[in-house]
Structures are given as structure tokens and as C-alpha cells.
Chain A
Amino acid sequence: MEAFKKITAKIMPLDRANVDTDAIIPKQFLKSIRRAGFGPYLFDEWRYEDVGEPEMDCSQRPIKKDFVLNNPDYQGAKILLTRENFGCGSSREHAPWALEDYGFRAIIAPSFADIFFNNCFKNGVLPIALPAEIVDSLFKEVEAGYQITIDLDTQTITTPKEEVIKFEVDETRKYRLYNGLDDIALTLLQADKIKAYEVERAKRAPWLFA
């Protein structure tokens, strides 16, 4: 996983609430047994005129010009600005894989669905929940070339007007994301505790260890 320390990048505004993971990456692409290569199919149904199929060459596909991903003003954006309950629905990690593969490193919204939120941290993508009125004001300010800086260490966003917005992030998640750490290696450091738990649990619930 790529560590997340500090980025300065353009914002892309996606003005929709309850964006579900089926919209982020439609089901036909989940047939892949790989982890990479989902970026070209990100928001496939909103982005292209035709029906997307796995392994399709997207460079030749007709695009929906009014969809924000196709707006030349926001090309190269690494931060997605959106509305509440982003990432609801299916647990598919293909959603953050597609966002990350496309180039997004952070997502700002008033709220996120739990499983998606968690999946982002496993993939070097920082989801930031901000009060709805701040998200609203960012939507009003965003225009071509609008850039912000996100600093995970200080947990701050700095706008072009030098306005500083604080955000919350759990310590454990921050530490792992900031350092790009492997969850499994960290968890295996607790192997003795896991084994001790199993011994103790087997006494209370022996049927689970039969």
C-alpha cells in the first residue's frame, strides 16, 4: 500500500448523494481475479454511452460529455468531492481499487458508508468526513484549477484562500496509512495474544474447537 503523507491536488466535484459501489464499479468488472486495472471502468455507466465489458479498450468508447469525470477542467484531479453516504451498498473493494487506479488519493464527503470507508484505508486512499456546510462551501468554491493541500500528519486541509480545515481520523488508521503498513504483518505481531485467546475461548466454547 502506498503511504499517504501530504498531497496538493485538484478537486473533482461529483454532486450526488448516496453514490453506491455498484455505480463506482459495476458488477461485470468484478469477474476479474486481479487487483489492478479497474480505473478505466470507474463510474462506467455514468461515464460512457455504451455498456462496458471487462477487458474492453476504453479509449475508443463514446463518452457522456456532461459527466464530471469527462470534464477537461478536472482532469488530473486526485481528490473527489462528493455528498453524503458515499460508497454505500456492496462491500466490493474493487470500488476503492478503481478510485485509486484512476488516480484519486482522497475523498471528501459529509459521510461515508462503513465498509467502503474501511476499505479505503487498506488502499492508500484517505476518506475525509467534513460537516455538510463545509462540503457545501467547497462545492461552491470549486472551479477549474482549484487545488487544495491535504496533510495527514496535521490532519488539515488548506484551501487556496489559506483557509485551514481540521479533520478527524482514528490514530490506528492514521498510523497505518501514514506509514503504508501491512495489516497482516502488524497483526501477526500479536500472534501470542491470538493463541492465548484461542486457548481461553476453547474452555468457554469447546464446540467451536471440536
Chain B
Amino acid sequence: MSEKTLYDKLWDDHVVHTEDDGASLIYIDKQLIHEVTSPQAFESLRLAGRKPWNIQRNLAVADHNVPTTNRNEKIADPIARLQVETLDKNCTEFGITEFDMDDIRQGIVHVMGPEQGATLPGMTIVCGDSHTSTHGASGALAFGIGTSEVELALATQCLTQKKSKNFLIKVNGSVGAGVTAKDIVLAIIGEIGTAGGTGYAIEFAGSAITDLSMEGRMTVCNMAIEAGARAGLIAVDEITIDYYRDRPYSPKGEHWFMAEREWQKLHSDTDAEFDKVVELDAAAIKPQVTWGTSPEMVVDIEAKVPNPADEFDPVKQKSMENALEYMGLIADQPINEIKIDKVFIGSCTNSRIEDLRAAAAVVQGKKKSDSVALAMVVPGSGLVKQQAEKEGLDKVFIAAGFEWREPGCSMCLAMNADKLQAGERCASTSNRNFEGRQGYGGRTHLVSPAMAAAAGVAGHFVDVRDWV
């Protein structure tokens, strides 16, 4: 038997049937459901008189539209409210477990899943959300799907897929102080581009990856999609297994020991072959800041805004010019001179307890710059919020003039009331700096939680390594 990659193992383990052209019917162990991409799927099931294949393989939570301010009030926007109420109604009708807005377990679907042990190593996991790649951090095959496939997975517990190619990204050595998982993944995207992983499942490996906590690994896999790969993966090790011990939905008793034995096998074999390999030196990675309107438009904090005149490819040159115009930046301007208007610390990329600790450590005893109109911290779930409050992080943020909010997707995509005004510039720990992503005309710079916090204090981007 030939040597297998982690992705090969997960794939082979879930094939129900393969067609002549290689398209395979893949079994789905868990589907996560949220309010935005599911209503049409439920409606369509209802119209066809179909029932879910297995309600226990689904778990729902509202996250995109929920307000991050007072939860005692109903959602003000009637269209958003209808969407959240529709999820509640659908889950009740079809018998699917949902954590509603008042549940302490409510949170961003990709924070809640691992936190509850609802998404586990070795599983296939889907959700109508591209950042489902996050769950690959636990040695699972997890990817985002559209609404038609949400319906298909509900009705059949399967999806038709063509196997992706294998891509290994090794980050060797260790990162310096002040350099985080976010900087690693932004540096990777800067290296391979936003389409570098298209058609591949990316396995992240190397000592800089295995040194990361589960939270850090989730940050890296979360942004695999920003490198074009539907799925990001990291092999299971002791850190993974320790993380899942005693989670509410984790296997119990004898099943835990059986699972643990099986999960130990979830790594690429020593001589497994990859279709593509890229290696990075962790020690060379500095804190990253995006300057443009695509995550690949990224440089380090010591750099200057790139000059389109230096770009040879005319398509890229035009993209750079468009981006500079939209972002209101000038070529060759030093990154650390860019002033910001708002700070957003949150999103499925960076709203876990470790992220909040890193940001709080930076703002401890300091004050938000007067030139920064708003700095908001949005925990990833009710349980993250509770833990942070137990540690007194909320008080650190509030004392520094940062707002402490209720959990949800919030200003990562600005579907709720949290958004940038046109022309406003934000230091954001989210994952996409697309035009209009955080609000019409808003300008997003993607950074780590520590870098966002430091920018909030200084009023412009600063090298957080000088602060730690």
C-alpha cells in the first residue's frame, strides 16, 4: 500500500461511491448551519416533501446577523430578524439542535463547533460558509459549500466531490516574539497568492505550525480559503487530543479511548507524496499588514506600500492601482505611518480566548488613541466571553477605551449594525479586505489581534514587537 497524506486518509475514509470520471459520493459526518445560507435549503426541502437524512448530524446557530450590543432587545433590522427567526422555525420544524441567541453556547459557528467538540478529528465537516476550513485544524476534512449543497447534505448526508490535489506548506523553525498564527498565514498568502491553493487541500506542517495552540492552528486553517484552498488541514498530535478531552460533544468513556487511538493515525505518512510543496522560514516572518483589497496584497510592518510601477504583469498592475485608489493610499508610503479610524478585534479568524489575551496584553494600562473613533472587541462565543470576563480581560479593554461586545460575526462582514462608514480605515483581525466588506466604502487592513490592539493605542500601525 502506498503512503498516504492526511487528506488522502480522510478522503478514503469517507468515500461511499466513485463514478468513472473520479467524482465521488462523500459521506458528511457533521453539518453546521447558520441563518444566512440555510433558509432557501430548508424551503426547498419542504417544497419537495423531503426530510433530513439524520438530524443528529446537524447543529445550528445564528451568528452573521446577530447584534453585538444589548441582547435583551430584538434585532432592529426587520429583514435580519426574519432571517434569524426563520432559522429558529426551521430547526424546530425539522428537529435540528440550535443554540439560540440567548444560549451561552451561541457564537460564531467556527468558534462554537470545536469549542463544543461538535466538530472532531477525522470527521468530514461542511457548512454554508467558506471559513469552514477552520475545522481542519483538528485533522478533519472541512470545507465550505453553497446553499444547494447545504440542502443536499441535509437530505442525503452526502456530497458529490472530486478529490483535490495535495499541497504541503511547511513553516520551519519558530517565529519571534510578537509574531502570531495570523502573521504566519498572511505571510503564506503573500507568498502563494489568493489562488495559490485553488484545486488543492493544503496541509500546514513544520515546527512553527506544531508549536501553535489549537486556537492558533484554527487561525491558520481558517484562512486556507483566502489562499484559494477549500480545505486546510493540520495533523493530530497531543495538543489536538488534549483540546478535545472533556468537550460537551466529545466521545465519552470507552469511545474516547477508541477515538484517541484512531485519531493518532491522522497524519501524513513519512513518504507520502504531495503535488506541490512550499517551505517558509518562520524566523523571517514579521508582523503582517494588508495594504490592498485582496488578502495577497500584504507586506510586513517595516515595509512600504508597494508601487504598481514596479509590477511587470499588466493585470496585476491594474489591480494594484485599483486597490490603492480604493484604499486611499499612496505608493511607497511607509506602513507604520498609515493612520486608522477604527479597530475590530473578532471574527472566526481571531476571536478565541488566546486572541483576546494577546490583544489585552497589549492594551493593558494604555489608552485608545483619541484619533481612533471606535475600537471594538467581539468575542467568538458566549463561552469565550465568559472565560475572558473570568480573567478580567473585559475590564482591561474597557479601561483602555475599547468596547466589549456580545459574540457574533459582527464587523468581519458587517451584516449586522457593526460597519465602517465610507472612507473609514480599520485595523481588523478578520479575514477579508475586499472592497465594501466591512461596510460600503470602508477600508480594511488585516492584522493580528496584537497588531490591531497596538494600532488602536497608537492611532496608526506600529510594530508590536517593540511593545512585547
Q: A: which residues have CB within 8 A of B?
A: 15-18, 20, 22-23, 26-28, 30-35, 45, 51, 54-55, 83-85, 88-93, 96, 111-115, 118-119, 122-123, 170-173, 183-184, 187-188, 190-191, 193-194, 197-198, 201, 204-208, 210
A89 in contact with B228 (CB, 8 Å): no
**Nearest Cβ distance between residue B92 and chain A, in whole angstroms?**
16
B436 in contact with A26 (CB, 8 Å): yes
What 8 A-B pairs are tightest by C-beta distance, nearest first?
A: A93-B146, A207-B251, A122-B148, A33-B39, A119-B146, A207-B255, A171-B21, A172-B23
Beyond A31-B80, A91-B144, list 8 extra A-B contacts (CB 8 Å): A22-B437, A27-B437, A34-B40, A35-B43, A96-B146, A113-B228, A198-B27, A208-B29
Known contacts A85-B198, A172-B19; A187 and B230 CB within 8 A of each other:
no
**Nearest Cβ distance between residue A103 and chain B, in whole angstroms?**
20
Complex CA–CA separation, A18 to B316 (angstroms): 10
Whether B199 is near chain A, meaning CB under 8 Å from some CB there, is yes
Complex CA–CA separation, A207 to B225 (angstroms): 29
Of the candidates B83, B128, B198, B435, the one whose C-beta lies within 8 Å of that of A22 is: B435
Whether B20 is near chain A, meaning CB under 8 Å from some CB there, is yes
**Nearest Cβ distance between residue B253 and chain A, in whole angstroms?**
9
Residues of B within 8 A of A54 (CB): 79
**Nearest Cβ distance between residue A137 and chain B, in whole angstroms?**
14
A88 in contact with B17 (CB, 8 Å): no
Would you mind naming 12 contact pairs between A and B with Cβ atoms under 8 Å apart? A23-B435, A30-B415, A85-B198, A112-B198, A113-B228, A114-B198, A114-B199, A170-B23, A173-B23, A193-B16, A205-B259, A207-B255
Known contacts A85-B194, A89-B432, A193-B17; A187 and B319 CB within 8 A of each other:
no
Whether B65 is near chain A, meaning CB under 8 Å from some CB there, is yes
Contact indicator per residue, chain B 55-96, by CB within 8 Å of chain A (1) or not (0): 000000000110000000000010110110010000000000
A20 in contact with B160 (CB, 8 Å): no
A27 in contact with B414 (CB, 8 Å): yes
- Which positions 192-221 of chain B face chain A at CB distance < 8 Å? 194-195, 198-199
Known contacts A23-B434, A88-B228, A206-B258; A111 and B155 CB within 8 A of each other:
no
Of the candidates B123, B162, B199, the one whose C-beta lies within 8 Å of that of A170 is: B162
Whether B115 is near chain A, meaning CB under 8 Å from some CB there, is no
Residues of A within 8 A of B156 (CB): 184, 187-188, 191, 194
Residues of B within 8 A of A183 (CB): 148, 152, 160
Of the candidates B16, B130, B435, the one whose C-beta lies within 8 Å of that of A45 is: B435
A193 in contact with B25 (CB, 8 Å): yes
Interface size class on chain B is 35 or more
Residues of B within 8 A of A55 (CB): 79
Residues of A within 8 A of B36 (CB): 30-31, 92
A31 in contact with B415 (CB, 8 Å): yes
Known contacts A23-B435, A114-B230, A122-B146; A85 and B86 CB within 8 A of each other:
no
A20 in contact with B432 (CB, 8 Å): yes
Residues of A within 8 A of B160 (CB): 172, 183, 187
Whether B429 is near chain A, meaning CB under 8 Å from some CB there, is no
Residues of B within 8 A of A207 (CB): 251, 255-256, 258-259
Complex CA–CA separation, A150 to B420 (angstroms): 42
B258 in contact with A89 (CB, 8 Å): no
Residues of A within 8 A of B432 (CB): 20, 22, 89-90
Complex CA–CA separation, A115 to B21 (angstroms): 19
Complex CA–CA separation, A32 to B79 (angstroms): 7
B25 in contact with A35 (CB, 8 Å): no
Residues of A within 8 A of B83 (CB): 31-33
**Nearest Cβ distance between residue A139 and chain B, in whole angstroms?**
10
- Which positions 13-43 of chain B face chain A at CB distance < 8 Å? 16-17, 19-23, 25, 27, 29, 36-37, 39-40, 43
Complex CA–CA separation, A92 to B225 (angstroms): 13
Of the candidates A20, A118, A184, A194, the one whose C-beta lies within 8 Å of that of B27 is: A194
Contact indicator per residue, chain B 405-425, by CB within 8 Å of chain A (1) or not (0): 000000001110000000000
Complex CA–CA separation, A89 to B432 (angstroms): 8
Whether B157 is near chain A, meaning CB under 8 Å from some CB there, is yes
Residues of A within 8 A of B50 (CB): 184
Residues of A within 8 A of B195 (CB): 18, 84-85, 88, 111, 113
Residues of A within 8 A of B157 (CB): 194
A190 in contact with B17 (CB, 8 Å): yes
Complex CA–CA separation, A3 to B198 (angstroms): 27
Known contacts A17-B316, A194-B16; A115 and B435 CB within 8 A of each other:
no
Complex CA–CA separation, A9 to B195 (angstroms): 29
Whether B463 is near chain A, meaning CB under 8 Å from some CB there, is no
Residues of A within 8 A of B380 (CB): none
**Nearest Cβ distance between residue B164 and chain A, in whole angstroms?**
8
Complex CA–CA separation, A114 to B167 (angstroms): 15
Whether B315 is near chain A, meaning CB under 8 Å from some CB there, is yes
Whether B341 is near chain A, meaning CB under 8 Å from some CB there, is no
**Nearest Cβ distance between residue B24 and chain A, in whole angstroms?**
9
B255 in contact with A91 (CB, 8 Å): no
Of the candidates A45, A91, A122, A172, the one whose C-beta lies within 8 Å of that of B129 is: A91
Complex CA–CA separation, A76 to B77 (angstroms): 35
A35 in contact with B40 (CB, 8 Å): yes
Residues of A within 8 A of B39 (CB): 33
Measured CB to CB, the nearest residue on chain A to B19 is A172
**Nearest Cβ distance between residue A89 and chain B, in whole angstroms?**
6
Whether B388 is near chain A, meaning CB under 8 Å from some CB there, is no
Complex CA–CA separation, A203 to B44 (angstroms): 34
